[in-house]
Amino acid sequence: MSWTIDTAHSQVAFSVRHLMIARTRGRFNQFQGTVNFDEQNPANSSVDVTIDTASINTMNDQRDTHLKSNDFLDVATFPTMTFVSKRIEVLSSNRGKIIGDLTIRGVTREIVLPTEYNGQSKSPWGATSAGFSAEIRINRKDWGLEWNVALETGGILVGDDIDISIDIEIIKNEG
């Protein structure tokens, strides 16, 4: 069954070390996608998500401008990043792994996205929704995000590991 991501009730967020001592957090404000969620056999499900890279928001315009530049996401050349599932492994009634291809800056790598199924609910308007959460740590250099500055005190300005946190609400496409 086809489901649509309810972007008003979903979030794709990230955090990264800054100066090796603090975390900078952000999110992507614009994304879309579909989920073919087989409620009877979740292993037969699939996910296809596209994120607008220019929608990055860290609550700092100067930093966002830099993140959109060729040093990082190069939004002029790569206006989107995508995640397309290849298969799903069910671990329990509410946990699984979504194995798929994450493409950033034209580089595609397979990732394993540990996912939690948060259940289903009917809205007051009759729509059926389901919720999922996922968290993963990736190394930005694996996708060609190499820019950095060495610190005078040792270490680097921007950490290599990016923690990604996803909360998705999907709505069943009835009929």
Question: Domains in the chain, start-ordered, CATH in brackets?
Answer: 2-172 (2.40.128.110)
Q: How far is CA 83 from the centre of its chain?
A: 8
Q: What angle do CA 169, 174, 175 make, to 5 degrees?
A: 160
Q: Which has the closest alpha carbon to 14: 149, 132, 158, 166? A: 166
Residue found by looking up tokens 């050349």 in the block: 77
Cα→Cα distances 40→23, 36, 43, 65, Å: 40, 12, 9, 45
pLDDT tens digit string along 24-62?
999 999 999 989 999 899 999 999 999 999 999 999 999
Share of the chain above pLDDT 90, in %: 81
Task: Examine the pLDDT at 72 and tell me if it is beyond 90.
Answer: yes
How many residues in total does the chain contain? Answer: 175
Q: How confident is the model at residue 175 (pLDDT cuts 50, 70, 90)?
A: low
Q: What is the mean pLDDT of the chain?
A: 93
Residue identified by tokens 């259940």 is: 119
pTM across the whole model: 0.92
